[in-house]
């Protein structure tokens, strides 16, 4: 018996028979049903030759896929299976986005069998999303669709390969930019009047993410043997979603191996999503002085947070964002389009200034905590002295030192 025949025998070799009305049938098995009974399928044709050809074609398909999965399973049925699987390995924010994406996917092509999907189905999802959302959203949700279909393929469901070749929608042009020097100077004048101005001085000169800043604790600010202040970015402040919307009793949605420390309610300290995000960096001299002054008047926080809310609880990222907008309003600056600069554009501006000053890429990567796609650039290899020198040059440009 050949290897091919041996493989077919797993599903039974198939049999042909003729019904009383003269029609020919080919029968084959694809494993077992959930109730334990054999899952028996048939093909039919007007003649024995045609029935045999159909049967052999189906057996060849089983040979190719090597699976006995139900090829009639719909996209919706698979989404219902896939989401709980994905929840166990994806970060909470990623899973929340996946849930939003699958609502569009199910609404558009949920009725379609996985084995019968076509490129047109993928484009139908794109079109449905772009009717009310941006092309950037459509591009992100395209990623979710491809991931869930790849997962279905891994589980043994047959997915037509040309479905994976459909290109994602082109994302809208991002108008984020660095904050011009003149605007930075105007912002610094307003920041200097705030009792907690160190929060925004830290943002402008150190380039951290919002979650890294709001999740920073005093324990992560340490003097080195030379007396210089260093910061460790080991956590980020982030609200974790409940497993059931607005139901604290349902617990939090976290994957296996996800490290998180609950502070209050949904607010947690979580680890950065990449190794590059977990880093040490020197603190600019002028920021170190501002932090010393702030520590004497900062609201006491049971969690040791550097910039908590007035009652000592974790700061709210939305209120933090609103304050950033208010600072811009007072300074009478903003994005050329008329909107306010985003909190992330503060970080983008730091990176741009470092590049403009000719700071080597390895040093910029170390300071900003960026991941490198071109090659492995381990941030520990960058000398702290070089990082401190680069950041102090940014302070000089901003007329702070």
Q: What is the pLDDT of residues 290-327, one digit of tens each?
A: 999 999 999 999 999 999 999 999 999 999 999 999 99
Calculate the average pLDDT of the chain.
83
Dist. CA 251–CA 369, nearest whole Å: 31
Helix (H) or strand (E) holding 279: strand 279-282
- pLDDT of amino acid 306: 97
Structure tokens at 373: 């796609």
According to the model, what pLDDT value does residue 114 have?
Answer: 94
> What per-residue confidence (pLDDT) applies to 120?
97
Could you tell me the CA-to-CA distances from 334 to 111, 129, 208, 330 in Å, in that order?
47, 30, 20, 10
Cα–Cα dist 355/34, whole Å? 61
Please report the pLDDT score of residue 397 as a whole number: 66
pLDDT band for position 396 (cuts 50, 70, 90):
confident
15 phi/psi in degrees, rounded to 5: -140, 150
Position 281 confidence tier, pLDDT thresholds 50, 70, 90:
confident
Provide the pLDDT for residue 327: 96
Q: Which residue has the higher pLDDT, 159 or 11?
A: 159
**Lowest-pLDDT range, 100-114, 263-277, 353-367?**
353-367
Instruction: Output the pLDDT for position 123.
Output: 97
Specify the pLDDT at position 358.
64
Pairing mode, strands 267-270 and 24-32: unpaired
Q: Report how far residue 371's alpha carbon sits from residue 383's, in angstroms, rounded to the nearest whole number.
A: 18
pLDDT greater at residue 62 or residue 85: 85
Share of the chain above pLDDT 70, in %: 78
More confidently predicted of 58 and 241: 241
Task: Check residue 4 and give its pLDDT.
Answer: 38
Sheet holding 236-239, edge to edge: 236-239, 267-270, 260-264
The tens digit of pLDDT for each residue in 222-234 reads 998 888 898 888 8
Q: What confidence category does residue 367 fall into, taking pLDDT thresholds of 50, 70 and 90?
A: low
> At residue 288, does pLDDT exceed 70?
yes
Query: Looking at residue 375, what is its pLDDT?
Result: 26
The more confident residue out of 371 and 287 is 287
Task: Tell whether the torsion through CA atoms of 284, 287, 292 and 295 is positive or negative.
Answer: negative
Which of the two residues, 253 and 146, has the higher pLDDT score? 146
Q: Is the pLDDT of residue 329 over 60?
A: yes
352/344: higher pLDDT: 344
Where does residue 175 fall: left (phi above 0), alpha (psi -120 to 50 degrees), or beta otherwise?
Answer: alpha
Q: What is the pLDDT of residues 170-225, one digit of tens each?
A: 887 777 777 887 888 888 889 999 999 999 989 888 888 899 999 999 999 999 88
CA–CA separation, 322 vs 49, rounded Å? Answer: 74
């Amino acid at each position: 018996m050949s290897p091919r025949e041996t493989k077919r025998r797993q599903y039974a070799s198939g049999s042909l028979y003729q019904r009383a009305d003269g029609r020919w049938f080919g029968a084959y098995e694809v494993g077992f049903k959930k109730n334990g009974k054999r899952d028996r399928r048939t093909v039919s044709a007007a003649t024995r030759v045609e029935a045999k050809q159909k049967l052999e074609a189906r057996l060849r398909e089983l040979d190719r896929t090597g699976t006995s999965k139900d090829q009639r399973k719909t996209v919706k049925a698979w989404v219902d299976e896939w989401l709980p699987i994905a929840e166990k390995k994806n970060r909470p924010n990623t899973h929340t986005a996946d849930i939003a994406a699958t609502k569009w996917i199910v609404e558009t092509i949920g009725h379609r069998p996985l084995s019968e999907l076509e490129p047109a189905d993928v484009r139908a999802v794109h079109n449905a999303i772009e009717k009310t959302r941006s092309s950037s959203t459509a591009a992100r949700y395209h990623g979710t669709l491809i991931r869930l279909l790849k997962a279905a393929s891994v589980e043994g469901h047959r997915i037509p390969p040309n479905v994976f070749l459909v290109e994602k929608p082109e994302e809208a042009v991002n108008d984020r930019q660095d904050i011009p020097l003149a605007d930075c100077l105007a912002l610094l004048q307003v920041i200097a009047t705030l009792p907690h101005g160190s929060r925004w001085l830290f943002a402008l000169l150190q380039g951290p993410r919002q979650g890294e800043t709001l999740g920073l604790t005093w324990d992560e600010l340490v003097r080195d043997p030379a007396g210089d202040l260093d910061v460790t970015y080991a956590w980020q402040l982030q609200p974790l979603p409940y497993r059931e919307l607005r139901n604290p009793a349902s617990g939090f949605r976290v994957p296996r191996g996800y490290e998180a420390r609950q502070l209050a309610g949904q607010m947690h300290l979580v680890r950065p999503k990449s190794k590059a995000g977990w880093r040490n960096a020197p603190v600019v001299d002028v920021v170190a002085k501002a932090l010393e002054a702030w520590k004497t008047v900062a609201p006491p926080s049971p969690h040791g947070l550097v910039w908590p809310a007035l009652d000592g609880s974790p700061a709210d990222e939305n209120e933090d964002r609103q304050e950033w907008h208010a600072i811009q309003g007072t300074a009478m600056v903003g994005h050329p389009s008329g909107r306010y600069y985003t909190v992330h554009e503060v970080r983008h501006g730091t990176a741009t200034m470092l590049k403009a000053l000719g700071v080597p890429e390895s040093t910029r990567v170390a300071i900003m905590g960026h991941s490198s796609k071109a090659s492995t650039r381990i941030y520990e290899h960058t000398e702290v002295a070089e990082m401190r020198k680069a950041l102090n040059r940014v302070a000089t440009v901003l007329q702070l030192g």
